[in-house]
Structure 1
Amino acid sequence: MKTKVEIFDPAMCCPTGVCGPSVDPELTRISRTVMKLVNEGYDVTRYNLAQEPEQFTNTEVTKLMEEKGTEALPATVVDGKLVKAGNYPSFGEFAAWFDFNESDLQVTTPKKKIDFTTK
């Protein structure tokens, strides 16, 4: 059976983290990671609460949000089971779920947010 990973994002304007005046390195990391995995044939999907609320009717995610609110997002479901809440999956977690070497995924990420606002 092919492993299926679903990531349930909080409400945001876009999944990349590059919209708005400051860039969140964690959002760019997860966007790049998911894109790389999908391009390599892995079954990974992200859902944005603002744009795809119907996807949040997953029993596990609904229960999580009823108990802890939207602050519990992002949430990750692997093969129908909630496995992580409050943070995005690490390279190691993806590697374990899909059975590959963690170093195959790692790319350099910015160490701090980039602020494009004028001061």
Structure 2
Amino acid sequence: MPSIRIYEPALCCNTGVCGPELDQELVTFTADVNALQQQGIDVQRTNLAGDPAAFAAEPAVVAFLQAAGSEGLPLTLVDGATVLTGRHPSRQEMLRYAGLAPTDDHAELPLAGGCCSDEQDSGCCGGQSSTSGCC
């Protein structure tokens, strides 16, 4: 299965889903990544503030940053090839990158545990539970 790597700009935490004002796009993206990982899809995200060495270790990322700067992030690579820049991929796009046809069966994968779940102790939602599954 292809490896999907998303290189993100500096975020306040691993997911960017923290603090008093949540970015709904990051909440959705975090839930999508968690759900796909639960399905066995090889998708990883790397935060510039949290792991700058990972950025330096990938030649395609170094070249991208030299040309576009961190303002061009996020950057999505599939098996080392650039497939998307400037925004996070959707769940359907990541399924396609993984070689799976986005279908209705995959469109609504369950939310995985962690930040966007109903677990009150997840830490990202300020200890609040949500009936929708996200903060």
TM-score band, normalised by shorter chain: 0.7 to 0.9
Aligned length: 106
CA shift digits 1:29-63 (9 cap, x unpaired) = 11111111111111001101001001102111111
Aligned counterparts of 2:87 and 2:39: Cα–Cα separation in 1:
23
Cα offset, 1:102, TM superposition: 4.5
Aligned counterparts of 1:19 and 1:35: Cα–Cα separation in 2:
16
Structure 1 residue ranges (4+ consecutive) displaced by more than 6 angstroms after TM superposition? none
Residue equivalent to 2:122: none
Q: Which runs of 5+ in 1 are unaligned?
A: 108-119
Cα offset, 1:80, TM superposition: 0.9
Aligned counterparts of 1:85 and 1:36: Cα–Cα separation in 2:
22
**In structure 2, the residue corresponding to 1:8 is in which secondary structure?**
strand
**Residue 82 in structure 1 maps to residue 79 in structure 2:** no
Between 1 and 2, higher relative CO (CA 8 Å, sep ≥ 6) is seen in 1
Q: Tell me the percent identity.
A: 37
Residue equivalent to 1:113: none
Residue equivalent to 1:16: 15
Q: Which runs of 5+ in 2 are unaligned?
A: 110-135
**In structure 1, the residue corresponding to 2:46 is in which secondary structure?**
strand
What is the letter of the counterpart of residue 92 of structure 1? Q
Q: Root-mean-square deviation (CA), in Å? A: 1.6
TM-score by length of 2: 0.72
Residue equivalent to 2:31: 32
CA shift digits 1:53-102 (9 cap, x unpaired) = 01102111111111111001110000111111110002231121121324
Structure number with the higher strand fraction is 1
Relative to structure 2, which stretch is displaced further, 96-105 or 22-31? 96-105
